Amino acid sequence: EQKRIAEKVERLFAKIDEAKRLIEEVKGSFEFRWESILDKAFRGELTKKWRSKNSMIENADDIFKEIQKVYKKSNKKDEHEINPPYQIPQNWRWVRLGDIVDINPPKKKLADIEDDQSCTFIPMPSVSDKTGEIENPEIRKYAEVKKGYTFFLENDILFAKITPCMENGKTAIMQNLINGFGFGSTEFHVIRTNPYINTKLIYYLLRSKKFRMEAKKEMTGAVGQQRVPKSFLENYLFPLPPKAEQDKIVELLDKLYVKEVEISKIETLEGEIDSLRQSILNKAFRGELGTNDPTDEHAIELLKEVLKSK
């Protein structure tokens, strides 16, 4: 029976090792697939069929002009200075990110807020690098945070600028804030959009591995304290689709993103598999693996033989 137990434990452990290998394979392939999906989204390939059925939508040039009115500025840098990294649909437009969103906007005056009033506070650990969501936000008094912290409004995007938080993907959209505003770590860049830009599309861009790897190359500062400068965000070339197509891209990405949630569930199985290994060993030494054969010689007889040999 000892031999049968050992053989069964080995067979079960082999199955566990194979399960872990498959989990790692699925995790790796998903990240590759997801980045491929994002790449297609920002090249216009994800909405190619949709675009053929909606040829009458506005041109990105038109909404770009409206955005310039929102920020009360003209495009200082000549459009001809932009060297397109790749080809985009005809009704899209290459722009610099700083020309279509507000990066680190000035702190809004909150005259109606009393010092003892509560507000949302987001420390760096509250931003999940796996899901891109806020976990366990803090509630603090306005007087405690109104100076020395990063200010943001509902629907602003927080982008971690310091290493390794930025590389890990700590980026989130601010939602359900107390009184519609909040404060957080000084290691966040704040990105604020406008009615002509789908906030979720910018969020998907900032969380993409490609964007983070490019941002990493531009980091400045001492080792261990390197940060992504605001200028990188301002000058980043972005393929701007018309607003209706932005919304369609986000709709498609949201559906595909569900797969990432499924992957995160698979990751939790890794811990269960490790505990299963210990459970098998516990059952093995309790005779609970179903290896007993009533016709086997009783263990007492084996013990007698051992004692005689002593």
Query: How confident is the model at residue 105, as a pLDDT?
Result: 94
Instruction: Tell whether 71 is covered by a domain.
Output: no
Bridge partners, residue 192, by sequence = 102
- Whether residues 236 and 272 fall in one domain: no
By percentage, how much of the chain surpasses pLDDT 70?
A: 90
Residue 233 belongs to some domain of the structure: yes
Mean pLDDT rounded to a whole number for the chain = 88
Residue 124 and residue 178 share a domain: yes
Which residue range(s) make up the domain with 288? Answer: 1-57+242-310
For 100, 130, 180, 237, the CA distances from 83, given in Å and listed in that order, are 18, 33, 39, 9
Tell me the per-residue pLDDT of 123-139, one tens digit each, with 9 for 90 and over: 999 999 988 999 999 99
Summarize pLDDT for 92-114 with one digit per residue, the tens: 999 999 999 999 999 887 778 88
CA atoms within 13 A on the CB side of 237: 15
Q: 254 and 221 in one domain?
A: no
The CB-based long-range contact list for 221-227 (8 Å cut-off, 24+ gap) reads 224/163, 225/162, 225/163, 226/162, 226/163, 227/161, 227/162, 227/163, 227/166, 227/187
Residue with the two structure tokens 């990110």: 97
> Which domain-ending residue is among 225, 240, 255?
240
Residue 272 has pLDDT above 60, yes or no: yes
* Number of structural domains the chain divides into: 2
Lookup: tokens for 25: 């394979």
* DSSP string for residues in 218-234: T-BSSTTS-B--HHHHH
- pLDDT exceeds cutoff 70 at 75: no
Q: Which of 87-91, 108-112, 153-157, 198-202 has the lowest mean pLDDT?
A: 108-112
Q: How far apart are CA 287 and CA 276, in angstroms?
A: 16
Q: Are residues 106 and 199 in the same domain?
A: yes
Quick: pLDDT tens for 252-268. 999 988 876 676 667 66
CATH number at 219 reads: 3.90.220.20
**147 and 226, same structural domain?**
yes
Per-residue pLDDT tens over the stretch 183-207: 999 999 999 999 999 999 999 999 9
Residue with tokens 């699925």: 26
Q: Where is pLDDT greater, at 1 or 211? A: 211
Distance (Å, whole) CA 262 – CA 270: 14
Say if residue 88's pLDDT is above 80: yes
pLDDT at position 155, please? 97
pLDDT at 173: 97
Q: For 37-60, how does the pLDDT look when each residue is reduced to its tens digit (9 = 90+)?
A: 999 999 999 999 999 999 888 899
The pLDDT, as a whole number, for residue 39 is: 96
In degrees, rounded to 5, the angle at the alpha carbon of residue 212 between the alpha carbons of residues 87 and 219 is 115
Per-residue confidence (pLDDT) for residue 28, from 0 to 100: 65
Q: Which pTM value belongs to this model?
A: 0.77
Answer yes or no: is 81 within a domain.
Answer: no
Question: What's the average model confidence in pLDDT over 267-278?
Answer: 77
**Which residue among 195, 213, 240 closes a domain?**
240
**Per-residue pLDDT, 236:** 96
What is the arithmetic mean of pLDDT over 258-287? Answer: 78
Q: Do the domain assignments include residue 173?
A: yes
User: Do 158 and 219 belong to one domain?
Assistant: yes
In the structure, what pLDDT confidence band is assigned to residue 278 with cuts at 50, 70 and 90?
Answer: confident
Does residue 171 lie within any of the structural domains?
Answer: yes
How far apart are alpha carbons 170 and 119 in whole angstroms?
Answer: 21
Residues in the chain: 310
CA–CA distance, 40 with 51 (Å, rounded to integer): 14
Dihedral of alpha carbons 268, 270, 274, 276, sign: positive
- pLDDT at site 74: 65
Same domain as 192, residue 158:
yes
> Tokens 């394979």 — which residue?
25
The pair of structure tokens assigned to 256 is 């595909």
